[in-house]
Chains A and B, each alone.
Chain A
């Protein structure tokens, strides 16, 4: 069975500082991993996805994530936070899909707060 753990339900950083959102996964097969962002009263938007092509994945809005099999991690980073990055971020894993939404298992989410 697959599972996702996001460390920290809330993360606060200053504008311009490094953003680091942590995600650890558990999967019985090589996983597909995703990061989604959700703004208030909105659906989910895909930031980036790992499908075993490259361990360092670049996404939209300056975000990137590195797949580390030995640590079963897929942490999300952004070098310099912007006020518009304030949102809820979800890490997700799928064992049966390369990108579609069937059977995604999500983490509990991390609320990113940007301090001016």
Chain B
């Protein structure tokens, strides 16, 4: 069974540009969440999608957006990149993502974004 796949693994962008990152969840998983990981702020929740709808959102500016497709694959977009956006972006998928008996979240290897 394939794990969570994130593409690309590494990315270098220039300030002011925009970037799109992709996440393919484990087959059958309907919940996809995104996290930003930096040395200074650690792991921070960006947003979660379930059945193509954003169900939860963290405290990030509107430059960060995402979407989910009917096959549960998800993309996140960052517009007008800033140097501080340099980070490891992690995607996680789970079957449901909610509820007492919901299942484990599986993380991808991440996309390392460097803004220069």
Contacts and interface: CB of A to CB of B under 8 A. Distances in A.
A109 B88 CA distance: 15
Contacts of B94: 99-101
A46 B106 CA distance: 8
Nearest to B44: A106
A96 B57 CA distance: 13
A104 B55 CA distance: 13
- Name A's interface SS: loop
A54 B33 CA distance: 27
A106 B36 CA distance: 11
A108 B107 contact: no
Interface string A82-116: 00000000101000111111111111110000000
B11 interface: no
B64 to A, nearest CB: 16
Given A43-B90, A107-B42, A101 B97 contact: yes
Contact of B92 (A41, A49, A101): A101
Contacts of B44: 106
A103 B101 CA distance: 16
19 contacts: A43-B92, A43-B107, A44-B92, A45-B107, A46-B105, A96-B98, A97-B99, A97-B102, A98-B98, A98-B102, A99-B102, A100-B103, A101-B93, A103-B58, A104-B43, A106-B35, A106-B42, A107-B42, A109-B43
